[in-house]
């Protein structure tokens, strides 16, 4: 047997899991692309807001806080703001309560973000418990840790076939055939595709496209200290990034696993929703792209051994929460894979387990 654990997928889920597992056995990570984190992980909004998401996601994100705050330079202050029209008061109140944001006056909000439109913005809430994540530093830190502990990480190694015998798994790639005792399916949008290859029943993951536009700093303002801003009901959002502003329509368009690209019409509609709430028009785009946010049927990640096929472990369905939950999710995965006790509450582990789908 070549490896104890063979991880399919070199995004943040797979790489962080490799780092956690490398002391427990021989680990191999297979990444289909030429670089790590090419797909969803490489196109993240890169925010740590631990109160963002459903209950099990919040539990993982909150449990990741100690790691983030102890790691040098991974987090930097960003803050968060929600803005809404007068007619969206109910949605605004639910969003603010759910993420523990405090309502403020429009005048106070315009001291922070001067381009807010007083003719359309009726409700504002803010919080300081949100941070930018240096996603590359986080990913490369986990990759370095994994390699230093003996893990192998191969890029340009798409999986073309998976078979199983009495001893374990054989995984075929253009770089060779590798055997392992356990497969960890951390393949993002391709999670059900990998399962099918392995003879495991798919769980019903859905890749949803989300588009992004990069625009110049509005009105030439110094936007470096602006918070991430969400439209009420997450109908759009924007976030400063290296002197420019990223604006997203926050769409969730069902698609298939592929190298995603932005939809021009969807971007235009999202930029129009953003423009309605600010005083500075969008005059040009610097760049645009899209990523796939992949969810399980109940929109909660799936972490655990398959309920029917021994030696097949799911680490998938992180949706838009992969980076902010990675430290705790990877530790939970390693604990389950090595039969160690976890600090995550049993009810959360059960909510994440594949067994919930039968």
Residues 257, 323: one domain? no
Among 295, 329, 345, residue at a domain's last position: 295
Among 265, 295, 325, residue at a domain's last position: 295
Domain hosting residue 85, numbered range: 80-127+206-295
Nearest to 218 by CA among 248, 249, 239, 236: 239
Ranges 36-40, 181-185, 276-280: which has the least confidence: 36-40
Residues of the chain with pLDDT > 70, as a percent, come to 98
Q: Tell me the pLDDT tens digit for each residue of 314-342.
A: 999 999 899 999 999 999 999 999 999 99
List Cβ neighbours of 84 (8 Å cut-off, separation of 6 or more): 91, 92, 95, 121, 122, 123, 124, 231, 232, 233
For residues 241 and 215, give the distance between their C-alpha atoms in angstroms, rounded to a whole number.
10
Residue 87 has pLDDT above 80, yes or no: yes
Residues of the chain with pLDDT > 90, as a percent, come to 94
In a domain, 18, yes or no: yes
CATH code of the domain containing 91: 3.30.9.10
Kindly list the distances between the CA atom of residue 139 and the CA atoms of 133, 301, 330, in Å, as whole numbers in the listed order: 10, 19, 12
Residues 115, 242: one domain? yes
Residues 167, 308: one domain? yes
Residue 81: phi and psi, rounded to 5, are: -140, 140
Residues 348, 250: one domain? no
Return the pLDDT at 40: 57
Residues 169, 281: one domain? no
Confidence of residue 38 (pLDDT cuts 50, 70, 90): confident
In a domain, 53, yes or no: no
- Give the pTM: 0.95
Residues 266, 225: one domain? yes
Q: What is the CA radius of gyration of the chain?
A: 21
* Pure H helices in 72-190: 89-98, 106-112, 135-148
Residues 115, 174: one domain? no
Among 295, 313, 339, residue at a domain's last position: 295
> Are 126 and 109 a contacting pair, CB within 8 Å?
yes
Residues 38, 144: one domain? yes
Residue 195 has pLDDT above 90, yes or no: yes
Residue 51: phi and psi, rounded to 5, are: -95, 5
In a domain, 284, yes or no: yes
3 state SS of 219? helix
Residues 155, 285: one domain? no
List Cβ neighbours of 298 (8 Å cut-off, separation of 6 or more): 356
The token duo for 138 is: 């986080």
CATH code of the domain containing 325: 3.50.50.60
For residues 250 and 189, give the distance between their C-alpha atoms in angstroms, rounded to a whole number.
18
In a domain, 42, yes or no: yes
In a domain, 62, yes or no: no
Residues 265, 187: one domain? no
Across the range 266-294, mean pLDDT stands at 96
In a domain, 111, yes or no: yes
> Are 305 and 354 a contacting pair, CB within 8 Å?
yes
> Which element (helix H / strand E) includes 355?
none
* Pure H helices in 71-220: 89-98, 106-112, 135-148, 191-197
In a domain, 327, yes or no: yes
Across the range 134-149, mean pLDDT stands at 97
Residues 38, 185: one domain? yes
Residues 119, 267: one domain? yes
Domain total for the chain? 2
* Pure H helices in 149-284: 191-197, 264-276
In a domain, 73, yes or no: no
Q: What is the DSSP secondary-structure string of 38-70?
A: -SGGGG---EE-TT-SSHHHHHHHHHTHHHHHH
């Amino acid at each position: 047997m070549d490896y104890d654990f063979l991880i399919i997928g070199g995004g943040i889920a797979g790489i962080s899991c490799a780092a956690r597992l490398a002391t427990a056995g021989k680990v191999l990570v297979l990444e289909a692309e030429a670089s790590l984190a090419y797909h969803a992980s490489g196109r993240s909004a890169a925010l740590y807001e631990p109160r963002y998401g459903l209950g099990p996601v919040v539990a993982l994100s909150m449990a990741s806080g100690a790691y983030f705050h102890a790691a040098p330079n991974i987090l930097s202050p960003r803050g968060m703001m929600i803005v809404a029209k007068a007619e969206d008061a109910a949605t605004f109140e639910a969003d603010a309560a759910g993420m523990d944001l405090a309502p403020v006056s429009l005048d106070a909000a315009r001291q922070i973000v001067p381009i807010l439109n007083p003719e359309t913005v009726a409700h504002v809430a803010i919080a300081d418990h949100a941070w930018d994540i240096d996603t590359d530093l986080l990913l490369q830190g986990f990759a370095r840790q994994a390699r230093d502990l003996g893990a192998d990480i191969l890029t340009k190694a798409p999986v073309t076939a998976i078979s199983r015998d009495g001893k374990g798994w054989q995984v075929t790639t253009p770089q060779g055939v590798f055997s392992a005792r356990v497969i960890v399916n951390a393949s993002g949008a391709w999670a059900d595709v990998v399962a099918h290859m392995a003879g495991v029943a798919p769980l019903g993951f859905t890749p949803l496209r989300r588009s992004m536009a990069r625009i110049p700093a509005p009105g030439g303002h110094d936007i470096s200290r602006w918070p991430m801003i969400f439209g009420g009901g997450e109908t759009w959002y924007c976030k400063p990034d290296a002197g420019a502003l990223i604006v997203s329509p926050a769409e969730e368009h069902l698609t298939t696993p592929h190298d995603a690209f932005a939809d021009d019409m969807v971007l235009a509609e999202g930029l129009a929703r953003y423009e309605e709430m600010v005083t500075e028009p969008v005059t040009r785009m610097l760049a645009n792209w899209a990523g796939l946010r992949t969810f399980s049927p109940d929109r909660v990640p799936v972490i655990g051994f398959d309920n029917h096929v021994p030696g097949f472990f799911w680490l998938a369905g992180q949706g838009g929460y992969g980076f902010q939950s990675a430290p705790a999710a990877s530790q939970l995965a390693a604990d389950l894979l090595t039969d160690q006790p976890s600090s995550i509450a049993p009810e959360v582990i059960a909510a994440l387990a594949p067994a919930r789908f039968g």
